[in-house]
Structure 1
């Protein structure tokens, strides 16, 4: 029931002078039920008493809340409330802090007589609003039974606000039949929600305001969300992003393409506020939504923890509904962390020119929608490039994802191609791409997991073995380069510091020894000291040779080169450094012997 229809229903109910039932407004948390009923009653100049049932655990708790609320109305008797207020105030002054407290608690201490007098004397001019039924810890049937007394005995109009979908009690329906005649499901039209969200306070540029409203209406029809707090939060984040571009005079300020920022703001707000996903879980969506699809499609819910199940639901019900990008780091940081960084925003915008999007990029970087023509074209283009060995993938995770992605769609019939032919062609492509495109071994959540498909397991083994070998070669060359830079002093001590992370990776090879020795001889004494500090620390651990055993023979060769140099050099500071280097090599060799 939309708000206009509901207004008519509530007005009709309030016109009943001796009601026999309450009326209920049912809707999810945050959809605006409370605001709606209060605004309507105030428009109609209808007096009301508002009672939240949040946290009540007994009928006494409800009585105390009702009694406390009476102090804010004038329908019982101003003189009586004033007199009792003074009386209770005087009693409060006599009580200790421990025995004092709220008006309701004091009323309980004094007994039920005064409390009942005022509760039973509520004027018929007043309507009672009982909110948050679902948040009561007292059984909902007991709450309704208590509320029913206001209707049957005092003939008061009562409106109950709740989210019935959040609880299920056996006795509730039976008690509800006695208390509530009509249950009105609260639904705001998308246009109404949008007008609330885009208030005048946002100060959005006129040239994108109407377009922004139209976009939010479209999103709400595609991704239903009734929580006004979440929607308002998303639009506030969106307006902050637009304003920061205005303030920094960015070339995109006021451009209609900025309207596409509404979706990531909206999506992250739903994930963070409505679905309770933690920020680290949502951060994954700033990188690669397609790999997340592969992750969630391969496992049953029973195998996942609660956070991952919610992330899967978020992906399926929100992210995949749109082709708009969600991988804006600036939006994630603003919505989930409250941090707005213009420098991050500029980086996001640099890669965000949709006119330059290549169709096959949809395969790796955009949410999946197999029914979308552009997306299907992207699949076809990509597959043709795979067959012709023209599609370049930079790391093992992307490569495996690409293969498993196509395999899934071909096998399920979402993309028309002969499966056996695809498997033969893609195996050849995987081997070729690793050998020719410098494909590195980068961590991926699926690459080391066992797939139910034997073919994908085979691909995983090929990728893991070949990229690990290729990556090790690259890492050896990189470490050797860093070590030489350190001896040359081109990066101060930073080069040696950068090598500490690779201290247990063998990269000193026999061909490299000659280069290392010459660089050491040419280095100044300060760099030699820094090098020796790194060198000693590198081999300090007792069992280090279990990891660096491949360096034993190259280091023996290095030791021989130093011996020759020592014999031909006279005492000096350089001679002293050579002797220190030689002593360190002897210690390493002894450690290797003891280790064997």
Structure 2
């Protein structure tokens, strides 16, 4: 293999007897300066010292000394230097700038191994002044005639660095990252990705396309690609064209995000913003319009890549943004998103709407068959998933707008409302969630990794059908109340811990029915009968659960259960009057007064 300019020059430099100058190696952050220099110098000659955090010259001398004479050689050298204090050797710690007393300091400063190459790393991260730093380096170059290599990110060094360095630095080497060599090394640490030979050039190509110089970022991105690969199914991996598109896009946005050029929100907005920035904003910029920094970064991002790089639609953009932002790789969501892309749509048993929405890549006969299948499924009440329903409804309006079906908007709206009513009547409509979920309303904006196709011409119709669906799902939930009530009574009879969990939850999660006025579906008399048929020692626990149910914010949500609770109270008091003595008092004391006061 041909040697690099760095290797050639360092070979020459190492061969000099007393060069009288240092070699400065500069390069971008993460460009592999340390890696390349350490590979170019034989390991037995290396004395690598990081200046990061070192605060004074004595600490530098101590660190160099400890690196030059490590282990046994270090102890032996110290014994030779400090014969009179050899008893304290085992207790000494070197490298933090502290040695045993002032006697050792000048000895350490004067003792060197001229055969070693001193490599000072992280110059720009040393808090010492340039004058002090270079005074130390000059001590090794002029007084000890050592060979010294300095590693620094020149742009980040102190302001006076450029002037000072000329006095002791005889040659400067500007390093370019050895991307291919570094990538080869990083791939070897990721077994699955290393064996995916078709994709490795795509990852390297995407990295070079971004003009990123940081090999650290390359390492991180290769690790990320390996994690993504582990989420894929064999059917995905076998589609080379799809994989090339996927990893090219994923690497580009991942790298640009790591470099701080785009945000996760920018990634999520690529489908909507591409035209705006690639065409409209670019034209405005050419007219001399000034933009803020974020807008300029976006413009630079969109100008750097073509449409195939950014708008392949191979994977959902919001999903990609979340992966890049959080480092979480949800396998099911990833495979599901890939499976609905144009690369795999014909290989899976997909719903008709998915074929229709990808009409750009389908023959007319396939689209026509999908339209017929969709309306057949409507007739059979076979479309029950809310996302599938909404996609199918939206695309019906699109088909009407373009003359693909005969129904107009009004006829479609009536047809769709009737379809929802029939689902509700046959208990096929998915009820509203039992407990409020953070993103439960997202289903009315997008689903299955696709935003609903809503044109301005039928937006109001789509809004109407969504309102009808929301109202109908509430009714569907209410129709389930008898089933929910039965579950609560069974828990009361057989498992009070489950009864408690259903009604009030645990300290870590809300109960299934803790925010649902379900108790109205239970006859108060029946509830008391089941309550009082329990062993006496469990009666008080039921009362405690009822009191706890109506505390805190729950009392606002469950205010509709106040009448039910009042009836339970009255029936308990009537039941108590049927008894005498302690039996009567015991039942009277079960009245959940705390709950009544809360409501």
TM-score, normalised on structure 2? 0.56
Query: Aligned match of 2:467 in 425, 431, 434?
Result: 434
1:64 aligns with 2:109: no
Q: Deviations over 1:153-186 (max 9, x none)?
A: 5555432112345x45332232133333554332
Alignment of 1:50-449 (within 5 A): 50-71=48-69, 84-88=77-81, 90-95=83-88, 100-102=92-94, 105-106=98-99, 109-119=102-112, 123=114, 127-152=117-142, 156-165=146-155, 167=156, 169-180=158-169, 182-199=171-188, 203-204=191-192, 208-223=195-210, 226-228=213-215, 231-232=218-219, 235=222, 255=238, 290=268, 325=315, 349=335, 352-353=338-339, 354=341, 355-356=343-344, 385=395, 388=398, 395-397=440-442, 399=444, 422=456, 426=459, 429-436=462-469, 438=470
Please tell me whether the aligned partners of residues 27 and 152 of structure 2 are also in contact (alpha carbons under 8 angstroms).
yes
Equivalent residue for 1:448?
A: none
Partner of 1:483, secondary structure, is helix
Distance 1:266 1:113, change over 3 A: same
> How far does the alpha carbon of each residue in 1:2-50 deviate from its partner, in whole angstroms, 9 at most, with x for none?
98344345445556666564332223454432221122123xx994543
Counterpart in the other structure of 2:490: 488
| Structure 1 unmatched ranges of 5 or more | 277-281, 295-308, 359-372, 375-380, 408-414, 439-468
After TM superposition, the score normalised by the length of structure 1 is 0.57
Verify the 8 A CA contact 1:33 1:186 in the aligned structure 2.
Answer: yes
Structure 1 residue corresponding to 2:545, chosen from 530, 534, 537:
537
Residues 49 and 145 of structure 1, relative CA distance in 2, 3 Å threshold: same
Separation of aligned partners in 1, 2:3 and 2:528:
81
1:345, distance to aligned residue in structure 2 (A): 5.0
Does residue 591 in structure 1 map to residue 594 in structure 2? Answer: no
Instruction: Give yes or no for contact 1:536–1:584 (8 Å, CA) kept in 2.
Output: no
Distance change in 2, residues 1:85/1:152 (3 Å): closer
Decide whether aligned partners of structure 1 residues 179 and 87 sit closer, same or farther in structure 2, where only a CA change above 3 A counts: closer
The change in CA–CA distance for 1:192 and 1:292 in structure 2 (over 3 A counts) is same
* Structure 2 CA distance for partners of 1:521 and 1:270, relative to 1, 3 Å: farther
Task: Give the CA deviation at 1:198.
Answer: 2.4
> SS of the counterpart of 2:41?
helix
Q: Equivalents in 2 of 1:435, 1:3: separation in Å?
A: 73
Residues 488 and 23 of structure 1: CA distance in aligned 2, closer, same or farther (over 3 Å): same
Secondary structure in 1 matching 2:118? strand
Call closer, same or farther: CA 1:243–1:223 in 2, change over 3 Å: same
Give the number of aligned pairs: 467
Report the CA distance between 1:115 and its aligned residue.
3.2
Alpha-carbon spacing, 1:183–1:3, altered in 2? closer, same or farther (3 Å): farther
Match of 2:501 in 1: 497
